[in-house]
Amino acid sequence: MSDEIRKDGGVPGDGEERKEFPQPEDVLPKDFETYTPQGGGSGTGSGPIREVAAVHRDTPESGPEEDLRQDVPRPGGLSLPVVSEQVSEEKLTAALGTPGVAESGDDKPEVSPFRLLMTLGLAGALAGALLVFVFQWSEPLIQAYDAQVLQEAVTEVLKGPDRFESVFVVDGSLTTQVPEGVDTLGLDKIYLGYDQAGNPVGYAMTHDGFGFQDLIRVIFGYDAEAGQVLGMKVLGHAETPGLGNKIEDQPFVGEFDGVNAPIAGVKPDRNTGAPDQVDMITGVTISSKAVIRIINERIAGMADLLAAFDPPGLASAAAGGVTSGGGEENQ
């Protein structure tokens, strides 16, 4: 009988949620008949509990607990539930679990510190091992890309040299031959470009300094004998988009082709055509000045070294057998 009532009174879609919890029949004594109030059970997940509680609340005729033990037929065909055993709210809650409350660590057995240590240690070791493999795969690709970027930049600022090689600053002088036992990674270096005949055409040098917001990194070609900048390229910056980033664009970059060092930045309308003048960008004064200052600083810093350095010409180039893109080998 109770089944029929539940079919009629149940809300569609309720059945799915009830599967989550034990049905009242599983928990209650066998001879306990549940009573489902009509239109009840709004499906909030606490259905079964509410139905049981409703036995005591919603039946107006229900007297003291003892009276319910007699199975008295009711007018509507309903029979009052027969309670043979007291079913407490606590007992039900314990059997059904508290809906909506996730399992917490409180009721779990204590885990030994050794197991915690092992779990984290093992996870860390596995993670490390995986990362080693990924690193070994990705590192050559990254280095190849960096080398390619450098080669393109050097080629651009030296106006297409046939090849170039790295020149290192060791103990206050320039040399192409790094002494044994010196790590080339920590050394300051510049790139010496050669033309097809094997004559040096100029040095490509990188340098960075503060711009408007952050460091600007610049590479430029420099002909030490003529004291002339051959070309410039901005490698990295964080200037304002739309304003400061114009230092990357051709009108400004082109100004540096063949300008005499030290460079003087001037406003476009004050340019007298002198060989050391570079037009600054209107509205981008700070970034423009920064680029010019970076280049001047680097040239001033390297001037003595470059003057003392005798670039290996035809002879040593042939002997060294450095081929195109030789700069990569020295990295």
Partner 1 sequence: MRATTPQQDFIRGIWDENPVLIQLLGLCPALAVTNTVLNSVAMSGATLFVLVGSSLFISTLKKIIPHEVRISTYILIIATFVTVVDMALHALAPAVYKEIGNFIPLIVVNCMILGRQEAFASKRPVGRALLDALGTAAGFTIAMLMMGTFREVVGSGTLLQGTPWMFNLFGPNYEPWVVMISPPGGFFTLGFILLFLGWWEDRKVKKREIRHWPHSVRVTSEREAA
In angstroms, give the least distance from the CB of 135 to partner 1.
6
Contact flag: residue 308 with partner 1 (CB under 8 A): no
d(CA 89, CA 95): 10
* CB of 107 or CB of 180, closer to partner 1: 107
DSSP code, position 15: H
* CB of 135 or CB of 210, closer to partner 1: 135
Contact flag: residue 131 with partner 1 (CB under 8 A): yes
Centre a 10 Å sphere on the Cβ of residue 16 and count the other Cβ atoms it contains.
Answer: 9
Whether residue 57 contacts residue 81, with contact meaning beta carbons closer than 8 Å, is answered with: no
Report cis status (omega within 30 of 0) of the bond before 12.
Answer: no
Contact flag: residue 1 with partner 1 (CB under 8 A): no
- Strand partners for 222: 203, 229
* CB of 141 or CB of 307, closer to partner 1: 141
Binding region for partner 1 (CB under 8 A) out of 51-59, 82-90, 141-149, 185-193: 141-149
- Quote the tokens at residue 269: 């309308």
Site residues for partner 1, 35-94, by CB under 8 A, read 45
Contact flag: residue 182 with partner 1 (CB under 8 A): no
Contact flag: residue 151 with partner 1 (CB under 8 A): no
d(CA 41, CA 50): 7
Contact flag: residue 7 with partner 1 (CB under 8 A): no
Chain Cα centroid distance, residue 112: 35
Pure H helices in 80-161: 89-96, 113-157
In angstroms, give the least distance from the CB of 117 to partner 1.
9
Cα dihedral sign, 55-59-60-65: negative
* CB of 72 or CB of 122, closer to partner 1: 122
Whether residue 193 contacts residue 158, with contact meaning beta carbons closer than 8 Å, is answered with: yes
> Considering only residues 181, 241, 273, 275, which one is a binding residue for partner 1 as defined by CB under 8 A?
241
CA-nearest of 48, 51, 55 to 23 is 48
Binding region for partner 1 (CB under 8 A) out of 137-145, 161-169, 222-230, 273-281: 137-145
Residues 89-118: x where in contact with partner 1 by CB under 8 A, - otherwise, as a string? -----------x-xx-x--x--x---xx--
Contact flag: residue 12 with partner 1 (CB under 8 A): no
d(CA 94, CA 101): 13
Binding region for partner 1 (CB under 8 A) out of 66-74, 127-135, 194-202, 323-331: 127-135
The 3-state DSSP class for residue 80 equals: coil
* CB of 124 or CB of 254, closer to partner 1: 124
CA-nearest of 23, 22, 17, 28 to 3 is 23
Binding site for partner 1 (CB under 8 A): 16-17, 19-20, 45, 100, 102-103, 105, 108, 111, 115-116, 119-120, 123-124, 127, 130-131, 134-135, 137-139, 141-142, 145, 149, 240-243
